[in-house]
């Protein structure tokens, strides 16, 4: 039986429909079955015969591999739609700066074949789980949860308790709780450390614009339980999950954060290990000075 491959794409990307059309054309004689959501199919002028259209809620159960065309944001959205499923994701970079997309448009077909030939590795990434005491709903983040002051013009206080021990009462604009995967996202922009995502077994606690200069990012084991209690004059705070607002919440309830019981599975391709990605994406080793200054006349 042919392997089933789910195709997910960010239609907001430039030439997204053309990219998808070109990919479908190249895979017409493929040994795989390609699956797309019905909500995507209605936006495609003509769906080729070798593409299977399924109801949106059946998309992931019909797929053995998800190929996500876009950037880091697209992969994050794919992860959230996957929920607790650990179906492997192969990211295809059609964006700019990104740390999660593993392959390119030119090589995606080859890497799909290599994956099903067991020639590619799966990188397991830890996930954060957050719930608010007294409420049933839980949220999950691959990159980070952010506690934000919800537009308030003054700082807020965030009591941060690790395994029942007070770490700090941060007086700041907010707080980032990051996974190793998220260490190259908002936490990095806020002065946090870069952490190897697949083998570190840690989380990062990173205050945003803290009032006290001695407050610095702290790396903690991912086996701990984190409790956050927010104090604000406006009696509310905003909670952000992987860059998307979950809304405003009352300061009266405590947040609990821990490592989720499931991981996210990302496909890794040759030549795209984390160290290579860092050098490439961050421009390490490049001479940013004006090269003309050193050229011979």
Active site residues: 72
Q: Give how far Cα 32 sits from Cα of 18, 35, 38, 92, Å.
A: 21, 10, 19, 18
SS3 166: strand
Q: Is 208 exposed, middle or buried (CB count within 10 Å of its CB: 0-12, 13-18, 19+)?
A: buried
Instruction: Using DSSP bridges, classify how beta strands 65-70 and 89-93 pair: parallel, antiparallel or unpaired.
Output: parallel
Cα–Cα distance measured from residue 58 to residue 81, given in angstroms and rounded to the nearest whole number: 11
Sheet holding 128-132, edge to edge: 138-141, 128-132, 255-259, 226-231, 156-162, 165-172
Q: How many CB atoms lie within 10 A of CB 74?
A: 27
Residue 214 tokens read as: 């001695």
Q: Residue 26 is encoded by which pair of tokens?
A: 């190249």
Cβ atoms 265, 122 nearer than 8 A: yes
Q: How far is CA 77 from the centre of its chain?
A: 8
């Amino acid at each position: 039986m042919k392997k089933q491959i789910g195709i997910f794409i960010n239609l907001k990307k430039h030439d997204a429909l053309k990219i998808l059309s070109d990919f479908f054309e190249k895979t017409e004689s493929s040994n795989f079955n390609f699956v797309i959501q019905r909500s995507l199919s209605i936006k495609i002028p003509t769906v080729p015969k070798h593409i299977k259209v399924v109801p949106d809620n059946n998309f992931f159960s019909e797929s053995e591999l998800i190929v996500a065309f876009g950037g880091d944001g697209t992969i994050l959205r794919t992860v959230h739609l996957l929920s607790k499923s650990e179906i492997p994701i192969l990211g295809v970079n059609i964006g700019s700066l990104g740390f999660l997309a593993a392959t390119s448009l030119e090589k995606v077909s080859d890497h799909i074949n290599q994956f099903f030939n067991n020639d590619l590795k799966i990188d397991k990434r830890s996930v954060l789980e957050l719930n608010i005491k007294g409420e049933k709903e839980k949220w999950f983040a691959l990159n980070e949860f952010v506690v934000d002051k919800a537009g308030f013009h003054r700082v807020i206080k965030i009591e941060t308790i690790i395994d029942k021990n007070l770490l700090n009462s941060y007086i700041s604009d907010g707080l980032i709780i990051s996974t190793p995967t998220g260490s190259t996202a908002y936490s990095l922009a806020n002065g946090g450390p870069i952490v190897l995502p697949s083998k570190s077994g840690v989380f990062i606690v990173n205050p945003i614009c803290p009032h006290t200069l001695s407050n610095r990012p702290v790396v903690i084991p991912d086996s701990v339980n984190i409790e956050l209690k927010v104090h604000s004059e406006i009696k509310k705070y905003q909670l952000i999950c992987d860059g998307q607002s979950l809304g405003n919440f009352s300061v009266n309830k405590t947040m609990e954060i821990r490592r989720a019981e499931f991981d996210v599975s990302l496909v890794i391709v040759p030549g795209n290990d984390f160290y290579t990605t860092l050098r490439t994406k961050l421009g390490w080793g490049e001479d940013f000075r004006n090269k003309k200054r050193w050229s011979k006349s």
